[in-house]
């Protein structure tokens, strides 16, 4: 089984823990990372862009010139798209950019992202992410000791002191373990997670994971 170092918020080494190879030493599938990040970013798009058609612009509907005798084109309305201020043709309309990704792809991409951070030594496990009080400065100093000034902090949403203390950090962010996702993991160079949350993620992702064979690991 793979092993990860465990520290405290002061940076002191507290030993090692064994973690499932199926979650933290899986095969990194970059195409799954790409697909899930694209899915998450598409779902976040507002899709509220809109242009006005000729039926929606506020211009006169009166015929511009008489039908015959002018020597010019026979235009019927100033609302046409060929005139300044006229309506748009085939312009963007409100729409949803979201598309579906199945659960196995989501789980596989999350395992790939966690493995990627673990392989590079950017997955930091802390025994307890407990702060005595709500204080951003104390959290900032702790991250400096851990050499993780830009990091994604992952713990239970009930950890109020950590959650509120992280709100004013310029380069780091807090995320509830229940909402851990590929896009946020890849946005930050470091992933800082409590041991309890790590075990929760491991149990969740290990249910559908296929065992890692020795040939695959080699």
Is there a contact between 139 and 105 (Cβ–Cβ < 8 Å)? no
pLDDT of residue 62: 84
* Residue 37: pLDDT over 70: yes
Query: Which residues, at least 6 apart from 161, have a Cβ–Cβ distance to it below 8 Å?
Result: 130, 131, 132, 133, 134
Q: 101: exposed, middle or buried (C-beta count within 10 Å: 0-12, 13-18, 19+)?
A: middle
Check whether 184 has a pLDDT greater than 60.
Answer: yes
Q: What pLDDT, on the 0 to 100 scale, is given for residue 114?
A: 97
- Residues 40 and 29: their CA atoms lie apart, in Å, by 17
**Confidence (pLDDT) at 218:** 44
pTM for the whole structure: 0.82
Name the least confident of 57-61, 143-147, 170-174. 57-61
Residue 209 confidence class, pLDDT cut points 50, 70, 90: low
Helix axes 103-119, 30-44, angle to 10 degrees: 120
Token pair of 109 as six digits: 């991409």
State the average pLDDT over residues 174-195.
Answer: 96
Q: Considering the chain, what percentage of its residues have pLDDT values greater than 90?
A: 82
Residue 125: is its pLDDT beyond 50? yes
193 has a pLDDT exceeding 70: yes
pLDDT digits (tens, 9 = 90+) for 69-112: 888 888 888 999 999 999 999 999 999 999 999 999 999 999 99
Q: Which CATH architecture has domain 2-42+100-217?
A: 3-Layer(aba) Sandwich (3.40)
d(CA 19, CA 7): 15
pLDDT value at position 213? 53
Q: What pLDDT digit, counting tens, does each position of 44-60 carry?
A: 999 999 999 999 999 98
pLDDT confidence of residue 61? 80
Sketch the domain layout of the chain as residue ranges.
Answer: 2-42+100-217, 51-91
């Amino acid at each position: 089984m793979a092993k990860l170092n465990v520290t405290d918020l002061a940076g002191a080494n507290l030993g090692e823990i064994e973690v499932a190879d199926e979650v933290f030493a899986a095969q990194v599938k970059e195409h799954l990372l790409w697909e899930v990040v694209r899915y998450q970013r598409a779902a976040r798009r507002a899709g509220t862009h809109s242009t006005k058609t000729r039926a929606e612009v506020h211009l006169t509907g009166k015929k511009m010139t008489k039908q015959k005798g002018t020597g010019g084109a026979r235009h019927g309305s100033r609302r046409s798209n060929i005139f300044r201020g006229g309506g748009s043709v085939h312009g963007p309309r409100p729409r949803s950019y979201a598309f579906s990704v199945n659960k196995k792809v989501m789980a596989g991409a999350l395992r790939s992202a966690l493995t990627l951070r673990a392989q590079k030594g950017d997955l930091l496990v802390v025994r307890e992410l407990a702060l005595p009080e709500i204080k951003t400065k104390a959290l900032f100093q702790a991250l400096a000791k851990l050499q993780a000034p830009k990091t994604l902090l992952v713990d239970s949403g009930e950890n109020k002191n950590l959650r509120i203390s992280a709100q004013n950090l310029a380069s780091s962010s807090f995320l509830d373990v229940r909402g851990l996702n590929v896009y946020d993991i890849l946005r930050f160079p470091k992933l800082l997670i409590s041991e309890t949350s790590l075990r929760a993620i491991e149990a969740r992702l290990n249910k559908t994971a296929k065992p890692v064979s020795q040939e695959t690991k080699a």
